[in-house]
Amino acid sequence: MEHMEDLTAFLEEVDELLANTEQNLVELEKSPSGKAIIQEIFRAMHTIKGGAATLGLQDGVEVTHATESILDTIRSGQRALTREITDLLFSVLDWLSSWKAALESGSERPPIESIMAQIHGIQGARPGADETGEDAATSSEDVLQVEDYREGEGSFTPDPDLARQIAEKLKQGEPVYKLTVSLDQAELLSVRCFQLLVLVGEEAEIIGSVPSAEKVEAGEVGDALAIYLTSDDGGESARRAAESVQDVIQVSLVPYELPTQEQAGRQAGQGARGHGPTPGGPESPDAQEDSGSDSLVRTTNLGRTVRVNVALLDLLLNLVGELVIDRPRLSQLASRLQANTDTAVIGNEVAALSARLQRTSQELQEGIMKARLLPLRSILSKFPRMVRDLSSRCGKLIDFEIRGERPELDRTVLEAIDDPLIHILRNAVDHGIEMPEERKALGKPERGRITLSAWYQENQVLIRIRDDGRGIDPDRIRESAVNKGIITREAAARLSDREALELIFTPGFSTAREATEVSGRGVGMDVVKSNLERVNGHIEIKSQVGVGTSATLRLPLTLAIVRALLVECSGITYAIPTPSVEEVLAVRRDDVKTIKGKAALTVRGRVFPLVSLEGCLKDDPWMGNGKFRYAVLTRTHDEPLALGVDRLIGEEEIVVKELGRILSRIKGIGGATILPQGDPAVILDTNTLLWR
């Protein structure tokens, strides 16, 4: 079990290292003399090698060690960085990605013969020449064990990785402190340990802890916790933070020093770990191979960065949902009590309680929602490499820039936009940017430019992909749509250029004269739109022939708790998310016009077909003949629409509940919620309401 936890932590570290290295390689191509970038890549390989050695993954050790050798010759100036070497390093990353995926799934790992042959082809020598050098040696400091640990006897030994981090801090002249906390035998030991890590992490830099953060999260704790930290104030603020935690009965803080050379040598002999053919296999004392000072378990700055289990987040989010439901019910109760003169005092107390509940639930809601958010850069990091490879395959010269990776989105939204962003970027590379000779003839720089920008706007995140390519010709779109039978020639002629651009989202539509390996098969942009609509997102395309194209994605920060307009139709309450609502109007009989035999409203020159909400759900949108008291102006598939309803109830913050696998397939319905009165209500999806 412990081995599996170590492997999981290692793979998470590898995932982050590979993503960072891929970005560094793309940057390195732009500035081949960047010594700092080369050093970063070297350290990443070094860290992966050390972790692989610790877990007995000899294939990973061999590949990363050989790669280190090449990087070492580059950073020492013995060899120049060439395109051939850069391509090799990308191939190494691809191999390591496949290797990591195989370890995660338990499947057969990729063979190393091919990648090692590529490496040795660059080296110009067979393996073995440098494998007995100083880099492969195991020093006593590298395997430093700090002190003996016997569980239940009150002393704590960091694992080898944590011990190396402590040694590195001390060698750099930073004081290290050991904070030992004893806890009462309470039922919530794991919660108290977690609180300690968070609070101490806010006051000091945590190097690591025993038990580790992962074991604390898993509930594998005792009645004591040792935290190794660095601090500018001697650890005093960290000590006070620890003393503030409930059920803490004793706190000790002592400076930590390296053991004597004799102790280090003895413990190195006892604690050296090797590698074997498989994880957990036989170990040999010479296999550690200089694992480096980077920890496989990301516990540094734990107070600022804490991994949280998604299942726990979902549970907490459901609890927040219950609070959100109960909060307005309590407010209603307070209003009723205040209206009764005999119970005015009680009413005031309940009102105060309601205010406190509102503040608490609001803070809890915001905290949980923030915990669910992931940085946009978690999916953007792969795009520089993708654009590089695609442009090379297409024979184009392209500079790709990402601006604004700080915005955060709900993990569900992030998962939904991954494919759309890939489709848009592939189209920009393949169809947008011209060939170098064509750009030169047009008076443009030979190198095309694609920019991906992201920023916050109110309660949304906007992502814009812009290229300086040939643009989209609306006349070609009209012609292609007519030829494919999507629209008649007469209707195409009536379309504005903006409306013509919307045709690219029609399934099967493409203006490409021939399909390429990259794109142009008429699939993709319709998928882009449908994926975005599933998470209440929208896309807008703007283009100018000869200048370029931009695609702007508008995305909600979260999907779990939203504001919605509550309406009633035939005695049934429905919720319409407010981002889908443009305006609400009272409808008078003479406001309703008949256009082509259908009811419609004209609002400031815009025509909105007027349909019955009840009818839409019964596959007869025109039932009721436009006899409604109110109309909700919205859009469905970017077409204006007026939904006729009987009554407006008001605006409310609602908790979105999933309907399950079968009911979620019903178009026009986006979920369900519980109203303050305790009654259920259907949440409408206006994008699919008329496409049932």
What's residue 130's pLDDT? 41
3-state SS, residue 651: strand
Q: Which helix (H) or strand (E) holds 653?
A: strand 647-655
Q: Could you say which DSSP state residue 657 is in?
A: B
Query: Around Cβ 574, how many Cβ atoms within 10 Å?
Result: 22
**DSSP code string of 596-608:** TTEEEEEETTEEE
Q: Is residue 113 part of a domain?
A: yes
Contacts of residue 581, defined as CB under 8 A and 6 or more positions apart, other chains included, come to: 565, 632, 633, 634
pLDDT number for residue 415: 84
Same-domain status, 193 and 129: no
Phi, psi angle pair for 7, to nearest 5°: -65, -45
Question: What does the pLDDT read at residue 567?
Answer: 94
Q: Classify each residue of 295-304 as buried b or exposed e, where b means 16 or more C-beta atoms within 10 Å of its C-beta.
A: bbbbbbebbe
Contact 402, 384 (CB under 8 A): yes
Q: Is the residue at 420 inside a domain?
A: yes
CA distances from 575 to 218, 564, 570 (A): 39, 6, 14
455 φ, ψ (degrees, to nearest 5): -160, 160
Cα angle vertex 266, ends 265, 270, to 5°?
115
- Summarised one tens digit per residue, pLDDT across range 553-594 is 988 877 777 889 999 988 899 999 887 888 999 988 788 888
Q: Are residues 381 and 440 in the same domain?
A: yes
Q: Where are the alpha helices (DSSP H) in 428-511?
A: 436-441, 474-483, 489-494, 497-501
| Residue at 279 is within a domain | no
Q: How many residues does the chain have?
A: 692
> Are residues 109 and 51 both part of a single domain?
yes
Selection from 90, 637, 33 nearest residue 389 by Cα: 90
Domain boundary among 356, 375, 394: 375
**153 within a domain of the structure (yes/no):** no
Are 517 and 576 within one domain?
A: no
Number of H helices, E strands in the chain: 21, 22
Sheet (strand 460-467) strand order: 398-403, 448-457, 460-467, 548-556, 538-544
Task: Identify the CATH number of the domain in which residue 111 sits.
Answer: 1.20.120.160
Query: What does the radius of gyration of the chain's CA atoms come to, in whole angstroms?
Result: 31
Are 520 and 390 found together in one domain? yes
Which residues is 642 bridged to in the sheet? 610, 633
| pLDDT for position 661 | 61
Are residues 369 and 461 located together in one domain of the fold?
no
Residues 424 and 541 in one domain: yes
pLDDT tens sequence across 181-222: 988 766 677 788 888 998 898 889 999 999 888 888 777 888
Among 509, 508, 531, 538, residue whose Cα is nearest residue 635? 538
pLDDT of residue 340: 67
Q: Are residues 20 and 114 in the same domain?
A: yes
Q: pTM of the predicted model, to two decimals?
A: 0.54
Domain match, 19 and 132 both: yes
SS3 content of the chain, % helix, strand, coil (to 5): 45, 20, 35
pLDDT at position 350, please? Answer: 73
Q: Is residue 299 part of a domain?
A: no
Mean pLDDT (the chain, rounded): 77
* Residues contacting residue 485 through CB under 8 Å, at least 6 positions apart: none
Q: What is the pLDDT of residue 473?
A: 93
User: What pLDDT sits at residue 341?
Assistant: 55
**What CATH code is carried by the domain that includes residue 574?**
2.40.50.180
**DSSP H or E segment with residue 463:** strand 460-467
Domain that holds residue 359: 310-375
Q: Are residues 423 and 355 in the same domain?
A: no
Q: At what angle do helices 411-427 and 525-534 cross, to 10 degrees?
A: 160
CATH code of 448's domain? 3.30.565.10
Same domain, 569 and 676: yes
Q: Which of 350, 375, 400 is the last residue of a domain?
A: 375
Is residue 84 domain-resident?
yes
pLDDT 10s digits, 35-83:
888 888 988 898 888 888 878 888 998 999 899 889 988 888 888 888 8
Whether residue 218 is contained in a domain is answered as yes
In angstroms, the CA 44 to CA 421 distance is 28
Q: How far is CA 311 from the centre of its chain?
A: 16
Q: In this structure, is residue 276 part of a structural domain?
A: no
Question: 640 by DSSP, 3-state: which?
Answer: strand
- Residues 474, 475, 479, CA angle at the centre, nearest 5°? 115
Query: End of a domain among 556, 589, 610?
Result: 556
Q: How many domains does the chain have?
A: 5
Q: Determine the pLDDT at residue 220.
A: 81
Residues of the chain with pLDDT under 70: 1-5, 124-157, 185-187, 258-313, 337, 340-346, 458-459, 510-524, 619-627, 636-638, 660-665, 690-692
Q: Where are the beta strands (DSSP E) in 211-355?
A: 224-230, 248-256
pLDDT digits (tens, 9 = 90+) for 408-439: 888 888 888 988 999 999 999 999 999 999 99
The position carrying tokens 């598939």 is 637
Cα torsion 308, 312, 316, 317 to 10°: value is: 80
Q: Are the beta carbons of 429 and 387 closer than 8 angstroms?
A: yes
CATH classification at residue 230: 3.30.70.1110
| 252 plus 369 within the same structural domain | no
